[in-house]
Amino acid sequence: MDSIDLEVLHACDQWLRAGQRCEYVTVVRTWGSSPRPEGATMAIREDGMVVGSVSGGCIEDDLIAAVREKGITRTAPEVLTYGISADEAHRFGLPCGGTIQLVVEPLGAHSRMDELLALAQRRVLTRRTLDLATGAVELAQGAADERLRMDKQQLLTLHGPRLRMLIIGAGQLSQFLAQIAVGLEYQVTVCDPREEYRTSWNLPGVDLVHDMPDDVVLAMKLDNRSAVIALTHDPKLDDMGLMEALKTDAFYVGAIGSRVNNARRRERLRDLDLSEAQIAKLHGPIGIYIGSKTPYEIAVSILAELTAVKNGVPLPQQMTVEGGKAMMSDLPVNPLADTRAAA
């Protein structure tokens, strides 16, 4: 499953190989409300075709109209700013007070898009440095804590996964969870020593390993940009991986299971000599309470909680599984919800 960034790189590479002129557009700064974040990208071809997005659509329309009217005439990168005034914000569909700054870069062999695409496909985190005067590009190994930066001379952008996720267990829920996580820019590794589960796995772009979970955790050297999710329901597998993961700086460590099973898991972890502070890092039952029943719904629930933790957003008690179920038990019965639950 390609991320939006990877789709844009694919398009740039294909168009350049076909001898078609194109430009690469990057959101470099936003003020106030903005439809797309810094680092969002878009490719635009000489006939006006676009891949990717830098706004809700109105800025794209303006860029497309300019290309169709004048063609691609830039010979060097150009900085464009939209939405400075209230009238411009209204014209370009920006929220009130929103302003967005873009770098529009005419592409060629010097842009090294083919090399950047190859690195992104190998899931290598890459720093791309663009000379704003000449359009020359340098590529180097990126660091997870780096961010987009721009001054009068250079634009520095990061490409490739900056987050890692280890999923313990290769069942159906793991496939759905991994599929969505890849789209969220995670480099995903799935660990399952059970051959009967690995043989049915088929998800491109995800590493599948057969080693024991605790060995995989140690080998990955997890940092504060890493998440671990245990989904096997088998203490022999989940607990060993969690034991090592809770000793690391991983920003999220969670395990599926009921409230009773998670209480028992915490007791087992105490028997494995983990401290109370380490055990307190464990999320479980994982996910936010949205009444999820299907594997896809459960995957969405888990990733919603994980995303909140990553972004430093505290969740109110009623959004947790325990708090949500307690709140729902006090509400009047919803006939539709009962029918679906019974089904």
Asked if residue 35 is part of any domain, the answer here is yes
Cα–Cα distance, 233 to 214 (Å, whole number): 16
**Confidence (pLDDT) at 228:** 98
Domain housing 70? 4-113
68/193 same-domain check: no
Most confident region among 26-40, 87-101, 150-164 by mean pLDDT: 150-164
Asked if residue 145 is part of any domain, the answer here is no
pLDDT in tens, 89-103: 566 666 555 788 999
CATH of the domain at 255: 3.40.50.720
108/209 same-domain check: no
204/70 same-domain check: no
Asked if residue 334 is part of any domain, the answer here is no
76/188 same-domain check: no
> How would residue 163 be classed by pLDDT, with cut points 50, 70 and 90?
confident
Domain stops at, among 113, 131, 155 = 113
Cα-Cα-Cα-Cα torsion 87, 89, 92, 94, nearest 10 degrees, comes to: -160
> How would residue 343 be classed by pLDDT, with cut points 50, 70 and 90?
very low
Asked if residue 66 is part of any domain, the answer here is yes
pLDDT in tens, 39-52: 999 999 999 999 99
Q: How distant, in Å, are the alpha carbons of 25, 28, 224, 237 from that of 103? A: 6, 7, 31, 48
Instruction: Decide: pTM greater than 0.75.
Output: no
Asked if residue 141 is part of any domain, the answer here is no
Asked if residue 35 has a cis previous peptide bond (ω within 30° of 0), the answer is no
Residue 282: pLDDT over 90? yes
> How would residue 255 be classed by pLDDT, with cut points 50, 70 and 90?
very high
Residues forming a β-bridge with 159: 126
Cα–Cα distance, 269 to 214 (Å, whole number): 13
64/203 same-domain check: no
288/217 same-domain check: yes
313/180 same-domain check: yes
206/314 same-domain check: yes
308/168 same-domain check: yes
Asked if residue 302 is part of any domain, the answer here is yes
81/180 same-domain check: no
98/210 same-domain check: no
Task: Please give the tally of structural domains in the chain.
Answer: 2
82/192 same-domain check: no
Cα–Cα distance, 61 to 79 (Å, whole number): 17
Asked if residue 148 is part of any domain, the answer here is no
Candidates 239, 276, 274; CA nearest to 256 is 239
Asked if residue 188 is part of any domain, the answer here is yes
